[in-house]
Chain A
């Protein structure tokens, strides 16, 4: 898509061969001292549609043009996932989507406090990325990554109770939506509403683990809108400079609330940003669970080898409004139709059932029935659970003696102590005296 870009000039942008891509973040100088950077792009199709603002009578609206009738691409075979793992990811995606449908119903029944945020169309990116992490590694979800939370071990019940502000929600009623975490077992950092702030925090998690002798992968997400924030730059640059194992998914879902991606940035692909950080950048089809997993897995392996951060741009579209109140009427209908054909779950289902024949009809029906039963039980539990007592608003702003024991999670840091004693240097380094 290009607001002002009339044509997609693919030829002018050098792309990597797979082999060259291994060293791609180091600039290779030609004799003419021309830098060549490469960004591996694993997609099986490239978008060739364009969005622009047009005057329509008295109103200004968005209009889309391009090859909107192109057939949806197939799912790319994973280099790493086996049959069982693919089916597991498919189940998480299904649970993700059906849980959000249940939340929509709960909202319509007046049982949700506030709004509901959806990851419709983004389930492959949430679920397959989180699936690449090990239990002892860390994840920081954004508002649409409810699938990631499920994969990390939270239940639909937890998420439903958050939306209904119940006493038994992970934040005990104190915060909403995906705004919760767990530092004990699931290793999830609770997001805040402002965008990009998780990036330095996850980098810091990797820093803490490294001081304790462990190179771990830490994963978080940012959108095409959120990546405009300053803290996104600060966090990713810090991770790059410190060579920390951050895996940053840039979920380019084409809309930041009502603002199209082209009004957020000028580069063609957000993965190009990686070049400026001096780290690898990769592009995947965010609606293809196998591509998402493979890129996440390779980035996590780099992180575990202590080779630093990776930026993965996942291309997809947000298939609902910003939240449930937003009907997304500003999105041209043909764009929805285009992306509906690229639905991550329908295509993955077709891949597993018809292409690979890994999921027989009976087994598939059983899987769906299991998801439905789980959601029904969780919904009933969440609905029946009590609201918090008013006075539970009090307390907990501070960690009081006895409420937490702070100890290193991965082991006592191995410290080296030099012989030098404490400085008695008296003069000030600055002119302010």
Chain B
């Protein structure tokens, strides 16, 4: 089994889908000869040609609109956003044109909009954001946030094969920091299914993307104190895996929801509401939220470190909750 980074896993997933299906193509800014700002599509233009690896003007609404139009003729476009921070430029196309198409007029939109999101790389307010919740709030879209290389490959392939528009948030902090052995054969990870990243009896941490690794590190530390954390990686934010959320609460009776996104309107509020609806009787303590601050993402490293949830924050809050 080859060892691939998170980025290489995504690259391989798209590559394999383009090899497999002639209707799959890539469209975005600087993705051709340059290979993309993060080099996800490096070498794609040599393999698949400029007809299927299309460099566009700096025009995010045109990228999404054109992807949707091509999808109406039966193509499966994979549109790259150089940074997911710029997705606001195409907000109307995504939420009004694309997301509502199937409900309004029965037009499926099998498109993937993918790109790097997330912080901890000192990118400042416009290169570090987690804009996923704008799209979780739009019925018709699916929202995917992988945390591991294995999942990143399986989920990008599932997203490309899905008949719905998928917003695929790649965490740029993970691009080259994590690697694992990836099966050489074709596999997909189904959308809408969470994953238990670590089993434990005392407390559940529900999280996704880069924060999965923060949670796992905290779990390792607390395990030495005899506190066993369960870590649930949501993987897909829309649709949410309601069963997996209520199941983990039933196993541990205590839950901490952790995310890198800002606090207000983050997925933690939605997950807490689901627990209230599905597993209220199983709770032995308050639902705790641990999130970024309700501010833009600050640039300077000490500020950004303070802004983002750290392993020490998780350890502190989990210890408190475990003793409840």
Where the two chains meet, the residues of A that have a C-beta atom closer than 8 Å to any C-beta of B are 138, 170-171, 174-175, 179-183, 189-190, 192-194, 197, 199-209, 211-212, 230-231, 233-235, 237-238, 241-242, 396-399, 403-404, 406-410, 412-418, 420-430, 432-433
Contacts and interface: CB of A to CB of B under 8 A. Distances in A.
B125 to A, nearest CB: 13
Interface in B84-119: 92-93, 96-97, 100-110
A426 to B, nearest CB: 7
A238 B68 CA distance: 14
A399 B162 CA distance: 9
Given A231-B62, A406-B108, A406-B110, A238 B57 contact: yes
A340 B70 CA distance: 41
Contact of B103 (A207, A209, A233, A396): A396
Given A181-B105, A197-B92, A189 B69 contact: yes
Contact of A423 (B23, B37, B43, B66): B43
Given A207-B66, A397-B102, A432-B123, A200 B93 contact: yes
Given A204-B67, A413-B22, A231 B43 contact: no
Nearest to A172: B106
Nearest to A191: B97
B139 interface: yes
A409 B73 CA distance: 5
30 contacts: A138-B72, A170-B105, A171-B105, A180-B104, A181-B107, A197-B65, A202-B69, A204-B68, A205-B69, A206-B69, A208-B69, A208-B75, A230-B61, A231-B62, A238-B56, A238-B65, A396-B102, A398-B102, A398-B140, A399-B110, A406-B76, A407-B23, A413-B25, A413-B52, A417-B47, A417-B48, A420-B47, A423-B42, A425-B42, A433-B176
Interface string B294-322: 00000000000000000000000000000
Given A204-B71, A396-B102, 20 more contacts: A171-B104, A180-B104, A181-B105, A183-B107, A189-B69, A201-B68, A203-B69, A204-B69, A207-B66, A208-B73, A212-B73, A235-B66, A238-B57, A403-B163, A404-B108, A410-B73, A415-B52, A418-B48, A420-B43, A432-B122
B155 interface: no
Nearest to B5: A426
B169 interface: no
- For the complex, would chain A's binding face be called helix, strand, loop or mixed by DSSP majority? loop
A205 B123 contact: no
Contacts of A209: 73
B73 A197 contact: no
Contacts, number: 223
Nearest to A400: B163
B59 A420 contact: no
A106 B123 CA distance: 58
A118 B78 CA distance: 38
Contacts of B157: none
Interface of B: 5, 8, 11-12, 15, 19, 22-23, 25, 34-39, 42-43, 46-49, 51-52, 54, 56-57, 59-76, 92-93, 96-97, 100-110, 121-123, 127, 139-140, 142, 163-164, 172, 175-176
A179 B57 contact: no
A296 to B, nearest CB: 20
Given A208-B71, A231-B65, A423 B35 contact: yes
B139 A207 contact: no
B71 to A, nearest CB: 7
Nearest to B56: A238
Given A201-B97, A406-B163, A420-B43, A207 B70 contact: yes
Contacts of A241: 56-57
Given A205-B72, A396-B103, A420 B46 contact: yes
Nearest to A398: B164
B69 A190 contact: no
A192 B51 CA distance: 29
Given A241-B57, A415-B22, A432-B121, A201 B69 contact: yes
Contacts of B59: 200, 233-234, 237-238
B15 A422 contact: yes
The 3 A-B residue pairs whose C-beta atoms are closest, nearest first, are A204-B69, A200-B65, A208-B73
Contacts of A418: 46-49
A370 B46 CA distance: 60
A204 B142 CA distance: 22
A122 to B, nearest CB: 23
A425 B176 CA distance: 11
B176 to A, nearest CB: 6
A194 B92 contact: yes
Contacts of B35: 423, 425, 429
A189 B98 CA distance: 11
B102 A234 contact: no
A273 B139 CA distance: 37
Given A174-B104, A230-B61, A433 B69 contact: no
